[in-house]
Structure 1
Amino acid sequence: MTSEDPSDTIELTPRQQQILAIVQQVGFTTIETLAERFGVSAQTVRRDIIQLQASNYLQRFHGGAGLASGGYRSAYAQKLMVSPQGKQRIGTAVAQIVPAGASVFLDVGTTVEAAARALLDKPGLRVVTASVSVAQIFCHHGVFDVVVTGGTTRGANGSLVGHAAIACIMGFRFDYAILGLGGFDDDGAPMDFDLEKIAVRQAAIGRAHKVLGVADGSKFDQTGTARIAAPEAFSMIVTDAEPPARLREGWQRVGTGWLVA
């Protein structure tokens, strides 16, 4: 049996999925921080980390957990395994919102990629993306009239960031911007961890008539390094699970809608 045999994997619990997502975003986190976040004992978190390490999802360190070193799952590959059916439902819901012939900006991330796949059969779309992976999805299906921003690649998913990416975005007007989210602030404002990716998203928000945030339910209990924008900058949050009351209340106050796919 090789380390890539599917029988080596475990079915992740919701808490384990969230632990994995946190480690992927910040690189390292302590057992104490995780225990406080989830309201469980340090021993419970330690057992989760041991199970995740056994399937090479992450690496256990003294007092905490970090990204797996030399494991067969990169952080990007790990993200693909978190809530794949939920992300597919989110993508389908987005495709039902975006009309044929629309001008669309597609962000980076596995949930946005699910939306890109769902949009493949939508005729007449004019697509701009800051994701090499999203562009490849369209190209692999014979759709070649996609604008890819310039910029510097960042991460295994081919995210494009920097001045060139932002300058390209500023030259367009979008009917819809579809943005991936890393977590939420207390008032429901979408957040993320990478400041350069946040800057690209902020540029797209400024050039879009409607902004759709996409996030699976594992993001509800996550925050982030910085806010992408105020919650009212988003027309709708599309997700795969009912959001907690604190997020729903924050969105209701400012008129941001949400859709559970």
Structure 2
Amino acid sequence: MNRKNTEHTQMLEKILKNEERYAEWLLLWMDDKRNLTSDFVKSQTELALNYLPLENWIQVLSYVKTNPYKWVPEARTFIEGLMKDGQYEKAAVNLFPFIEDLPEEFHLLLSEIWKQVDAEFVSSHLEEFLLFHQQVAQEHDPRQSEQRILQLTAKLMEGHDLKAVCEKLKPIQKSFPHSITIRKINEMAALLENPDRMMELGQFYADFNQYDQAIECFFWEMELNPADPAPVRQLCKMYQHKGMVNEASAYQQIYTQLRSEQETG
């Protein structure tokens, strides 16, 4: 029997089905995939789940390059279950092969996933996340796109220095050349070489909630200009953001003293 012949294949399918040799029927369908319609994939899924756990069936469909998240309603339940168990990275890895062809209902799940995973994971799968951001950007307004770029940048800054972040953002800058967030990052990279503008750099770091780096900048500025209360005030704020009450209180006292000295001349 020639399996490349459609008539022969249909005959073989009929024989296997009549003899209830469903596992072999599934293998034949996976090899051929002529009837790739929603209803047919649904019926094959119902059959397959008699033999395989849902996770394994999703893996099988992925292996034969059939998008389970487009055709199998149970696939979303599987991803949500992984997320509920805190397995965000595993959920992401399952979705990534179909990142450009995911139904819109998965966008919120992906957004939550990358908020939960660490910076190293985002960095190692940056291409997939960028594809996701670009896809979503085409569907929503520019403010939402900018917010996503801001969140992505903050995530990258958790695990990389400023120059590395700039380098990793270059692909997304091509798609979003007017991004305010990326412009800020580029300005920050330029300020790294200017020790006289550490106050400004510290403010940028604070905008991205990178309080440790901001503290370094404000401390540098305080040592450079010990009579200036401005960097001391910022140090107080940064320690407040970090929940370090004693340190914040100490710098508040220094700030109050410096302001008093300024006023009395």
TM-score higher than 0.5: no
TM-score (norm 2): 0.25
More helix by percentage: 2
Higher Cα radius of gyration = 2
